[in-house]
Amino acid sequence: MTDTRPGDDIAALIEAKVAAAVEQAVREAVDRLRWAPRVYGDERKLHVHPTAVVNDALFNLSSGEITVEEYAFFGHGVSVLTGTHDITVFDRARQVTVPKSGRDVVIGRGAWISTNALVLGPCRIGEHAVVAAGSVVLADVEPFTVVGGTPARVLSTISERPGGTA
């Protein structure tokens, strides 16, 4: 015969419920971190339309504002950076000499920024443009244009109405 005390069954039930709730909360927190963007700088300088999908992007707002317009979407690991450093100074000064503004980035309506692309401000990615995976964007991308490479260059253009609703 096992030696049980009154309430052991209730304690075990409560312990199991608490363990399940904690496990669920941890799983949800990890998912939020995995799929949430990372923001460096003043979050008030980041403007993401509610229809945009940015996944786990990194946004650096040190030197400007970033706007992501309607229906724009990102692959994973995209970085959009406004910050830069002054190469004419050295040591600690190089680390901390960062312009406060002037390097804004706008990602236009319906633009697709593919996985691991790097977008460096100042620039504008035009509406319905496509930035190929792994590309480095250093300048404006015209609307309905596909760019790729390092640095990104024009690969092709897209018909403005290829059966979609552009």
Q: Residue 114 is which amino acid?
A: S
Catalytic residue among 49, 76, 85, 128: 85
Residue 76 bears catalytic tag: no
Cα atoms found within 13 Å of the Cα of residue 34, Cβ hemisphere only: 6
CA distance 103 to 82: 5
HEC string for the chain: CCCCCCCHHHHHHHHHHHHHHHHHHHHHHHHHHHHCCEEECCHHHEEECCCCECCCCEEECCCCCEEECCCCEECCCCEEECCCCCCCCCCHHHHHCCCCCCCCEEECCCCEECCCCEEECCEEECCCCEECCCCEECCCECCCEEEECCCCEEEEECCCCCCCCC
Active site residues per annotation? 85
